[in-house]
Chains A and B, each alone.
Chain A
Amino acid sequence: MSRLRLYQLAVVAGFILLLEALCLAGVIDKITMPPPHIIVRDLFRMIAAGRYFGDIGKSLANVLLAFATAYVLGVATGTILHGYRTARDILDPLFATYYAIPVFAFYPLFIVIFGLGDGPQVLIGILLAVVAVIVTTLNGLDRVPPVLKKTARVNGLSPLQTALRVTLPFCAPYLLTAAKLALAYAFIGVIGSEFIMARAGMGYEISYAYTNFDNATMYPLILMILLLSIAANGLLSYWERTLLARRGQK
């Protein structure tokens, strides 16, 4: 393990220990937050009892659906847009200011249109994730050396073949960054929507527990979301490092 990784772990462990101490000393009262070891214990109990498996499954399926749709849509849009300078120039200001738009504000409207099902939640996830994917894809495509595109032409590749075999593979590290962003935004979109209004899901259960002072449910669920996103992000980061190492970058 590298020294850097050791320091990172030490910071996290230190933070958890500090929380533990503050909770046990009563600086943070029990109604606000139970000590971390209790949260972990509650999480294990929750998993052992199989509680909320339905909610967890529903949320993760929606996150995955939002992520996959936004990713495919974003990479395809980015790739096509890269070939149309004017269209890109027109859309650039929108991309630059997109994340100032409160996407969640449209959630009630989506519920009115699509009903209180999974649809609006997935849609919010997609809307949040897709632009990050488009922008990152464009960013990667801008960095493809012209000589590689010329090589593709000399070898008689069509524009589609060039995208699939040359430009997108070159952008792979950027596409992984896009995946990390898309996953984070899909989590925020889906869980956030559930939090606002839903009939099931992790976000819904957190919100329900929140209004009922049910810390033994709320904190373990938050911890679980945290662990899931760290695991997914770690996996993508590992993949990214492997790709970059092969290319002699870091």
Chain B
Amino acid sequence: MSAAQVTLRGVTKVFPASGGGEPVHALGPIDIEIRKGEFFAVVGPSGCGKSTLLELIAGLTAPTLGEIELEGRAIKEDVPDGVGVVFQEDACFPWLNVRDNIEFGLRQKKMGSEEKARRVAAVIDMMGLRDFARSYPAQLSGGMRQRVCIARTIVAEPRLILLDEPFGALDQQTRLLMGDEMLRLWRETGATVFLITHALDEAAMLADRIVVMSARPGRAIDLVETGWPRERDSRIVERENFGALTSRLWKTLREESLKAMGRAGSGT
């Protein structure tokens, strides 16, 4: 089994009180280990701090307590090198065409313009965006725009890709196809993928391992190993044990979701 790439130990996030309210204990304490090269998913009821968890790993915000390490080095409030993030919201720059949007991912990298152009061209091909390289985001569908954002992330060749409900705003068919795409990119880039989602079937279809989080403050309450082969696609949903897997996730999550909605226990 590969070594841990990301380690979270006792990570807790409390947002300070604002506007006369109480401080909000959003997350933790939580302990997670993400292995190098795996596809790791986190599911949880809404408001459980999933996105906070991702922002902590991305270095966009610092934990109140506990520590996070990437490849043995502590992540402070700074985005570490080698980490890419794809957000749920449309993050394309509307004033740049597809090609320039993707090249933005390389802006801060020290490399020659030829090397940059080569890498951008390669990613454009990889994401099937060649016909749209000169189009502006406004001319593309939501799914295509999200491909552009993914392309902008992978062009920097990150070792860890963080996905914050990246397909949340897309329709069901597009989600499945994007899932296939993500699995392919995961295999081709060899990067570790950390996916936040509220869609159980998405987590079950894509991930090697899935953490189920509790209602706020979010804690890890279950860790499920899917046991899928590395070569896989969305047709994995046809497998016999796929249903059992999602049922298990749902059983755990249902109780937590009811709690989150203010109703105790697993009753009706």
Contact = CB atoms under 8 A, between A and B. Distances in A.
Question: A and B from one assembly?
Answer: yes
Interface stretch (B16-24, B65-73, B84-92, B250-258): B84-92
B87 A157 contact: no
Interface string A138-154: 00000001011011011
The binding surface of chain B is classed by DSSP as loop
Interface stretch (B104-112, B124-132, B180-188, B208-216): B104-112
Chief secondary structure at chain A's binding surface:
helix
A85 interface: no
Contacts of B95: 169-170, 172, 243, 246-247
A165 interface: yes
Contacts of B104: 155, 165
B201 to A, nearest CB: 25
A93 interface: no
Contacts of A50: none
B84 A154 contact: yes
Contact of B138 (A147, A150, A248): A248
Interface string B147-164: 000000000100000000
Contacts of B108: 155-157
B139 A147 contact: no
A249 B138 CA distance: 8
Given A154-B79, A169-B95, A147 B136 contact: no
A170 to B, nearest CB: 7
A147 B94 contact: no
Interface residues of B, number: 23
Given A157-B108, A247-B138, A248-B139, A147 B93 contact: no
B60 interface: yes
Contacts of A157: 107-108
B58 interface: yes
Contacts of B91: 145, 147-148, 150-151
A147 B93 CA distance: 10
A40 interface: no
A245 B79 CA distance: 34
Interface residues of A, number: 20
Nearest to A155: B108
Given A172-B95, A247-B136, A248-B139, A153 B79 contact: yes
Given A151-B87, A154-B58, A154-B85, A170 B94 contact: yes
Nearest to B58: A154
Nearest to A157: B108
Interface string A222-250: 00000000000000000000010011110
A93 to B, nearest CB: 21
A156 B87 contact: no
A64 interface: no
Interface in A156-204: 156-157, 165-166, 169-170, 172
Contacts of A147: 87, 89-91
A153 B94 contact: no
Interface in A109-160: 145, 147-148, 150-151, 153-157
Contacts of A243: 95
A153 B108 CA distance: 11
| Closest A-B pairs by Cβ, 9 of them | A248-B138, A147-B89, A247-B94, A156-B108, A147-B91, A154-B85, A151-B91, A147-B87, A169-B95
Interface of B: 58, 60, 79, 81, 83-85, 87, 89-91, 93-95, 104-105, 107-108, 136-139, 156
29 contacts: A145-B89, A147-B87, A147-B89, A147-B90, A147-B91, A148-B91, A148-B93, A150-B60, A151-B85, A151-B91, A153-B79, A154-B58, A154-B83, A154-B84, A155-B105, A155-B107, A155-B156, A156-B81, A157-B108, A166-B93, A169-B93, A170-B94, A246-B138, A247-B94, A247-B95, A247-B136, A247-B137, A248-B138, A248-B139
Given A151-B91, A169-B95, A247-B136, 18 more contacts: A145-B90, A147-B91, A150-B87, A151-B87, A153-B60, A154-B79, A155-B107, A156-B108, A157-B107, A165-B104, A172-B95, A243-B95, A246-B136, A246-B138, A247-B95, A248-B94, A248-B138, A249-B138
